[in-house]
Amino acid sequence: MKILGTGSALPRKTVTNDMLSEFLDTSDEWITTRTGIKSRQIISDERFEEIAALAGQRAIEAAGLVPEDIDFIICHNVCNVYVTPSLASLVQGFLGIKGPNCPTMDLNSACAGFVYGLDICDAFLETGRANRILYICAEEVTRMVDWNQRETCVLFGDGAGAMVLGKGDNYLASTLTSTPMPDVIYYRLPCEPTPYETREGIDTHKAMQLKGREVFRNAVTSAQRDIRDVVAKAGLELKDIDHYLLHQANMRIVDAIKQNFDLPDERFHHNIEYRGNTSSASIPILLDEIVREGKVKRGDLMVFNGFGAGFVTSAAVVRY
Ligand code: UT7
């Protein structure tokens, strides 16, 4: 597998910490110190599928291709208003890619999902089931939180990161893990009752519930374990990696990993300051930003690492 081009797209509304403190008992000082976040983009009147499709279109253009060159669309998405059809199918319509020879599907492995999806794309490409996959991670996490709950709503932002993937030998290693811990982070949608239900309240809708400290501890431990593991699997050492792109959940998590690895600061990229936590989209948005800023050149080695509800974790080593 090889990354042929990247793209990203964000909602137009930027929300600063001060704007949140207008209706929440919070402050710029608390949010900045505890998370590193200064502002984030939050969906308002846009259609979410259009943001995802725009990220995809930019990735196709960056790859020097046209939509008709894509023969598979895979989206990673935790939640959007459409449970069905899939986001990938909706994106296909927006991009004007006619069927029936471009299959579409969605994946969901929470905030760790970006690398989970890369693994699936790699399998489809390397077994010859697809030649050029449009892979989009798109999230509107801000629709999953209770906007009266300062513990969660200040943390998140929305957006989409995309890439076109083709055949190649640049996916050097990956690590995926899952440990059932459903109480640590969860979000329950309302579902229709069946006529046979007797228990009350089993499908009670619950905005996102998050045990932040537990997630924080697990993230710091799992990130170090997974990164060391995946770099060793690739036959490399930590110092050989040019770019570390970690899930952007909290700047303090990135800092903790950085300190433990004793590597130059500039190898650890971050945009949480002005994007917030965009779940599975955080790494591909960050990747697109640093590619467009000219910070990455062909042949550079990158590590991606994520964690999220499940508890799931993931890491990969990729040659750009
Ligand atoms: O992508 C996966 C999901 N991501 C995460 O779960 C992120 C991982 N966790 C974290 O980043 C951190 O745990 C948080 C940023 C969520 C919380 O930071 P913390 O240092 O663990 O704070 P805390 O939850 O222990 O709360 C400390 C205090 C509490 O007050 P008391 O009990 O000490 O009086 C909270 O009520 O801060 C209070 N607090 C706030 N104060 C102002 C919580 N949220 C806020 C807020 N503004 N927004």
The model's pLDDT over 7-46, given as tens digits with 9 standing for 90+, comes to 999 999 999 999 999 999 999 999 999 999 999 999 999 9
Q: What confidence score (pLDDT) does residue 260 get?
A: 93
The residue count of the chain comes to: 320
Q: φ and ψ at 122, to 5 degrees?
A: -60, -45
d(CA 304, CA 316): 5
276 versus 200: the higher-pLDDT residue is 276
Q: Which amino acid is at 18?
A: D
Structure tokens at 269: 């990229």
d(CA 114, CA 16): 26
Mean of pLDDT values over 136-161: 97
Q: Quote the ligand 1 centre to 151 CA distance (angstroms).
A: 5
Residue 198's pLDDT band (cuts 50, 70, 90): confident
pLDDT digits (tens, 9 = 90+) for 259-303: 999 899 999 999 999 999 999 999 999 999 999 999 999 999 999
Q: Three-state secondary structure along 261-310?
A: HCCCHHHEECCHHHHCECHHHHHHHHHHHHHHCCCCCCCCEEEEEEEECC
Note if 277 is an active site residue: yes
Q: What confidence score (pLDDT) does residue 173 get?
A: 98
Give me the catalytic one of 243, 247, 269, 270. Answer: 247
Q: What confidence score (pLDDT) does residue 189 get?
A: 87
d(CA 237, CA 317): 11
Q: What confidence score (pLDDT) does residue 80 get?
A: 93
Ligand 1: atom nearest CA of 152 is 16
Residue 203's pLDDT band (cuts 50, 70, 90): low
Q: What confidence score (pLDDT) does residue 254 get?
A: 96
Q: What confidence score (pLDDT) does residue 204 get?
A: 74
Note if 137 is an active site residue: no
Q: What confidence score (pLDDT) does residue 206 get?
A: 87
Q: What confidence score (pLDDT) does residue 40 get?
A: 98
Mean of pLDDT values over 200-224: 89
**Rounded alpha-carbon distances, angstroms, from residue 13 to 16, 43, 154:** 10, 7, 15
Q: Quote the ligand 1 centre to 308 CA distance (angstroms).
A: 16
pLDDT above 80 for 64 = yes
Give me the catalytic one of 111, 121, 137, 153. Answer: 111
Ligand 1: atom nearest CA of 150 is 48
Structure tokens at 299: 């042949």
Superfamily grouping for domain 173-319: Thiolase/Chalcone synthase (3.40.47.10)
Q: List the domain boundaries for the chain.
A: 2-168, 173-319
Note if 102 is an active site residue: no
Is the backbone peptide bond immediately before 67 cis, with ω within 30 degrees of 0? no
Lowest mean pLDDT among 107-116, 190-199, 241-250: 190-199
Ligand 1: atom nearest CA of 252 is 11
Q: What confidence score (pLDDT) does residue 228 get?
A: 98
Structure tokens at 197: 């239900």
Task: Tell me the fold of 2-168.
Answer: Peroxisomal Thiolase; Chain A, domain 1 (3.40.47)
Q: Which DSSP symbol is given to 144?
A: T
d(CA 127, CA 56): 23
Q: Quote the ligand 1 centre to 35 CA distance (angstroms).
A: 9
Which residue's CA lies nearest to atom 41 of ligand 1? Answer: 26
pLDDT digits (tens, 9 = 90+) for 240-257: 999 999 999 999 999 999
Q: What confidence score (pLDDT) does residue 223 get?
A: 96
Lowest mean pLDDT among 152-156, 195-199, 297-301, 303-307: 195-199
Asked whether this chain's domains 2-168 and 173-319 adopt the same fold, the reply is yes
Mean of pLDDT values over 100-109: 97
Which residue's CA lies nearest to atom 29 of ligand 1? Answer: 151
Ligand 1 pocket by C-beta < 6 Å: which residues?
Answer: 26, 30-31, 34-35, 111, 150-151, 154-155, 185, 210, 212-213, 215-216, 249-250, 277, 308
